Amino acid sequence: MIRVINALLAIIGGVGGALLLFYVLNKLAEMLPQRAEERTKPWVFILPAIAAIGLFLIYPAIRTIVLSFANATSTAWVGLENYTDLLTSRDFQITLGNTLLWIAVVPAVTVVLGLAVATLADRLGAQGEKWTKSVIFLPLAISGVGAATIWRFIYEARPAGEPQIGLLNAIWTALGFDPVAWLTVDTLRFNSFLLMVVVTWGQVGFSMVLLSAAVKAVPVDTLEAARIDGANERQIFFKVTVPQIWGTVITVFITVLITVLKAFDIVFVMTNGNFNTDIIAVRFFNELFRNGDNGRAAAIVVMLMIAVIPVVAYQVRHFRAEEAAR
């Protein structure tokens, strides 16, 4: 009950404080001459947001870049040593390789599966579509830690002869094979792919919702025209439907890509990066909180920011091009 009261007080205080701030700023602006008021009022309302962005986003980013050139305790400058040590480290090279593998696999598979569900569910009728989409969307409501816990039970392995509580090993042993510790099998990054399954399972619902809306918005006239011209359903889908929803496909792909770059909880809970499953966000956490190396942790964050910037820039350009084409 105390937590609920504290949450309500925080909401009331936050909203009330914001209203009071803007009320006071508005009154101060109204005290100025008319021309000065017209020029000042837009800045009065936008400056608090700019100040918040500067305090909570821009300043920490600049501070992180500065600390990436310092030693583990941030007491002396070491230049590019943190970057060179990381990039020449075999462990970090494996981490980068895993991250690139995630980037190559998860967004593409998520978009393909989401588009497939969005397209096929429409053919099941109103009730079938509703229930199918509800089931597919449900994992999105589960936290990353919750999803990781569920899938750890699926991948769980017990010694031979003991009851297998893991679903995968229960099936595997029922077929006459010995139980396998799936998350330790790093041959051809097999365990990394098992972790990708969890992320994909959670993100397909998001992909499906956006792509389903885009598919439903495709003009029926273009589909009918294609059928009259003799196109079959496959040709209609790939040559008529997909080109018209390509903007949404790109948006979903980039959104999932950014989610993958930030992925942390699933890998941390299931393997903590062991057995060659480490990715960049988990490596940052371990460097900062387990190894206590502020410099290396900051360098990892800077590299992650550099990797994200081109993706975000492309997304902004793509959005502007779509807006200009309307």
Q: CATH topology for 81-325?
A: MetI-like fold (1.10.3720)
Per-residue pLDDT of the chain (326 residues; tens, 9 = 90+): 788 888 888 888 888 888 888 888 888 888 888 888 888 888 888 888 898 899 999 999 999 999 999 999 999 999 999 999 999 999 999 999 999 999 999 999 999 999 999 888 877 777 888 888 889 999 988 988 999 999 999 999 998 888 888 999 999 999 989 999 999 998 999 999 999 999 999 999 999 999 999 998 888 899 899 888 888 888 999 999 999 999 899 989 999 998 998 889 999 999 999 999 999 999 999 999 999 999 999 999 999 888 888 888 888 887 788 777 76
Pick from 243, 207, 209: which is nearest to 223 by CA?
Answer: 243
Pick from 243, 269, 3: which is nearest to 151 by CA?
Answer: 269
What pLDDT was estimated at residue 326? 67
Rounded CA separation 95/304 (Å): 12
Count of other CB atoms within 10 angstroms of residue 210: 19
Query: Which residue spans within 149-251 are E strands per DSSP?
Result: none
The tokens describing 109, both together, are 């598979």
Residue ranges per domain, the chain? 2-67, 81-325
Backbone φ, ψ for residue 288 (5° rounding): -80, -50
Rounded CA separation 220/24 (Å): 53
What pLDDT was estimated at residue 308? 86
The tokens describing 16, both together, are 């009330």
Long-range contacts of 259-263 (CB under 8 A, 24+ apart): 259/199, 259/203, 260/102, 260/103, 260/106, 260/107, 260/199, 261/99, 261/103, 261/304, 261/307, 261/308, 261/311, 263/102, 263/199
What secondary structure letter does DSSP report for 70?
Answer: B
Residue 267 CA to its chain's centroid (Å): 13
Q: Which amino acid is at 252?
A: V
**C-alpha dihedral (272, 278, 282, 287), degrees to nearest 10:** 100
Rounded CA separation 259/23 (Å): 38
